Chain A
Amino acid sequence: MNVQAWTYVIVTATFALYVGIAWWSRVKTTSGFYVAGRGVPALANGMATGADWMSAASFISMAGLVSFMGYTGAIYLMGWTGGYVLLALLLAPYLRKYGKFTTSEFVGDRYYSDAARLVAAGCTIFVSFTYIAGQMRGVGVVFSRFLEVEVHWGVVIGVVIVFFYAVLGGMRGITYTQVAQYCVLIVAFLIPAAAISWKITGNPIPQLGFGGSVQEGQQAGVFLLEALDALHRELRLPEYTAAFVPGKKSMIDVTAITLALMVGTAGLPHVLVRFYTVRSARAARWSALWALVFIGLLYTTAPAVAAFARVNLISTLHNTSYSDVPEWFRSWETTGLIDFEDQDGDGMIDMSDGANELTVDQDIMVLANPEIAELPAWVVALVAAGGLAAALSTAAGLLLVIASAISHDIGKSILWKDMSSRRELLLARGTASVAVIIAAYFGISPPGFVAQVVAFAFGLAASSFFPVLVLGIFTRSTTKEGAIAGMSTGVLFTGSYIVYFRLIRPEATAEDWLFGISPEGIGAVGMLINFALALTVSRFTKPPPEEVQQLVSEIRLPRERAGDSP
């Protein structure tokens, strides 16, 4: 069978699996729909969190990004894992102890204010839509590259699948399909990674091969990273492992971006809500551990893949005659992901700085890996299924938080307080259906600004949720005025900075930025502003009512009140 036939077989099989799981775990109650009835075991929730969290970007693009950034890729590697430490220590157990259904609900109750609830629900919806458009696009792109289906039909197929299990199965359906999707995506990531590690360094464990030495060619016996640095010097590019040299990001910018991504991760509503689905505060802690173990498996492999792919790319293509390029080059050339333009007309590929002969899309580093490592066709197909699993699982998690923010936080808690659970469940399903259609529209014709504002999702989460959640748990004295002032100023500051430097003055350079911090990292400053303002305003306003202070004392203890425990 050829690659395409294999892809059809594997993708169809995995989709059938997801739909089957959704049917088996369909729900009839609001608690089942929003938080899977709070019965998810810690290990399963860890896997589901891994799939929920790792999007098409983590699976397809991240290794390639790191490959081009070298050391600076650490902003993604540390930024997207370090947040789980904050999540585990500062938020997950307490939010689980508080219970109920959503993060905005905690904000609304802790700050005794529907205004705070509304701001939080609004941020949730905005952040999640920004994020979901990219996922739907990812589904379409995988379909079009591997199955030669038009992007928009790919999106439609993806939407139908997500619609089926998110609307029918709610959080329970999503959780168990995410467990399956995690397994698919991690296997699809690790097999080619092990193969390319073995091919280049003779060690099948990528994390070890990363520190090993090159097996073949001119640089046989040299440490992989030394060989890579040497190749970069030859091309007059900054060394791969060098940190703050010209042409790379500055130390302050790396620090700010890493912090914004960490804190943003800990404040993303679709990640937070996963910790509502386990049995207890204790289970929430263990499940944060499992989540990071499962995520770390991909995140420690990705930088190794990045280095292998980079060495391989340079050593096989640089100074090679165009007529001698390997097979995979030809097959990916047709997709436009790799492109050679013979500027000096000598028929040789020149990759050095300034020559501009070879254009390489970052996604190729993962997508073409199986072919570079000469793996069989079914592995290539598995990578397609893995990319789809990563995109669909994240999309489903996002859809659910959008639906809960609208039907529960705005509908049930503010507009129609006496709505019956049956009506609420119907409303939640209706909202999810509408949201999935909007997401499909964004996926088919993404508004031009989507790519520019993805940084927004993290910046916004960092500068809105994280500070008020932490203060809500760790202080009794933070008032509603403090929280609302902090949240809205943090978001407004971060939002205007991003809009200004991304849309109004995109040509601005590091010298124009505030303290040299790029729009990607400004969420870290927004977060500090939020903290400072919330604390200051709280000092000058009326302290929170007695029952709210009681609530704070209550959530600090893991023990369930009588009657709550199963």
Chain B
Amino acid sequence: MSNQPDPSAYWRANLRLMAILLAVWFVCSYVLGIFLVEPLNHARVGGFPLGFWFAHQGSIYVFVVLILVYAAVMDRLDRRFGVD
């Protein structure tokens, strides 16, 4: 672990994290909540058709988790690359 600031490595790590999180963001809201909602509605979780649940509930929970992961991992990246 170096404390030597390395802006371009920091930025690459940031972009990689962002790409992963935005991919999850897209899959949960657009793919599961919109594109595949009809086939997913044949499956049920408790009283919810699955696709409907993603569209009305699940995607919002996932959004919260995504920002949580982002804020926590970025805190670690800040320290690791000595840019905090």
What is A's interface to B at a CB cutoff of 8 Å?
66, 71, 73-74, 77-78, 81-82, 84-85, 88-90, 93, 207, 210-213, 223-226, 241-244, 251, 254-255, 258, 282, 285-286, 288-289, 292-293, 296, 299-300, 303, 553, 556-559
* Structural contact, A553 and B21, CB atoms closer than 8 A: no
A282 to B37, CA, bound (A): 36
Q: What residues on B are CB-neighbors of A93 within 8 Å?
A: 74
A255 to B66, CA, bound (A): 21
Q: What residues on A are CB-neighbors of B84 within 8 Å?
A: 282, 558-559
- Per-residue CB contact flags for chain B residues 33-49 toward chain A (1 = under 8 Å, else 0) read 11101100100011111
* Structural contact, A212 and B55, CB atoms closer than 8 A: no
Q: What residues on A are CB-neighbors of B63 within 8 Å?
A: 81-82, 84-85, 292, 296
* Structural contact, B64 and A73, CB atoms closer than 8 A: no
Additional A-B contacts beyond A74-B56, A85-B67, A251-B35 (16; CB < 8 A): A74-B55, A78-B59, A85-B22, A88-B67, A210-B47, A210-B57, A211-B46, A212-B47, A255-B30, A255-B34, A282-B78, A285-B74, A289-B71, A293-B64, A556-B14, A559-B5
Closest 10 CB pairs of A and B: A223-B47, A74-B55, A211-B46, A211-B47, A285-B71, A303-B56, A241-B52, A289-B67, A243-B37, A88-B67
A85-B60 CB under 8 A given contacts A225-B52, A251-B34: no
B25, B30, B60, B78: residue with the most chain A Cβ atoms closer than 10 Å: B60
A82 to B33, CA, bound (A): 12
Q: Which of B7, B30, B60, B78 contacts A300 (CB 8 A)?
A: B60
A293 to B63, CA, bound (A): 9
A242 to B49, CA, bound (A): 9
Q: Which of B11, B38, B45, B47 contacts A556 (CB 8 A)?
A: B11
Count B-side interface residues using an 8 Å CB cutoff.
43
- Determine if B83 is an interface residue (Cβ-Cβ < 8 Å): yes
A559 to B21, CA, bound (A): 23
CB nearest to A88 among chain B residues: B67
A210-B11 CB under 8 A given contacts A243-B37, A296-B61, A558-B84: no
A296 to B56, CA, bound (A): 11
Q: Which of B22, B30, B49 contacts A241 (CB 8 A)?
A: B49
* Structural contact, B57 and A207, CB atoms closer than 8 A: yes
A289 to B64, CA, bound (A): 7
CB distance from B45 to the nearest CB of A (A): 7
* Structural contact, A557 and B7, CB atoms closer than 8 A: yes
A258 to B37, CA, bound (A): 14
Q: What residues on A are CB-neighbors of B14 within 8 Å?
A: 556
Q: Which of A89, A241, A258 contacts B18 (CB 8 A)?
A: A89
* Structural contact, B71 and A288, CB atoms closer than 8 A: yes
Q: What residues on A are CB-neighbors of B51 within 8 Å?
A: 243
CB nearest to B73 among chain A residues: A285
* Structural contact, B52 and A558, CB atoms closer than 8 A: no
A85-B66 CB under 8 A given contacts A296-B61, A558-B83: yes
A226 to B14, CA, bound (A): 44
CB nearest to B78 among chain A residues: A558
Q: What residues on B are CB-neighbors of A89 within 8 Å?
A: 18, 21-22, 67, 70
A83 to B52, CA, bound (A): 20
Q: What residues on B are CB-neighbors of A90 within 8 Å?
A: 18
Q: What residues on B are CB-neighbors of A558 within 8 Å?
A: 78, 83-84
* Structural contact, B41 and A292, CB atoms closer than 8 A: no
CB distance from B24 to the nearest CB of A (A): 9
* Structural contact, B47 and A226, CB atoms closer than 8 A: yes
* Structural contact, B70 and A88, CB atoms closer than 8 A: yes
A282 to B34, CA, bound (A): 33
Pairs A–B under 8 Å by Cβ, sample size 13: A71-B52, A82-B29, A85-B22, A88-B67, A88-B70, A244-B37, A254-B34, A258-B29, A282-B74, A282-B84, A292-B64, A296-B63, A557-B7
* Structural contact, A212 and B46, CB atoms closer than 8 A: yes
Q: What residues on A are CB-neighbors of B46 within 8 Å?
A: 211-212, 223
* Structural contact, A211 and B48, CB atoms closer than 8 A: yes
A90 to B49, CA, bound (A): 33
- Determine if B68 is an interface residue (Cβ-Cβ < 8 Å): yes
A225-B48 CB under 8 A given contacts A78-B33, A289-B68: yes
CB distance from A386 to the nearest CB of B (A): 20
* Structural contact, A74 and B33, CB atoms closer than 8 A: yes
A73 to B59, CA, bound (A): 13
A212 to B53, CA, bound (A): 13
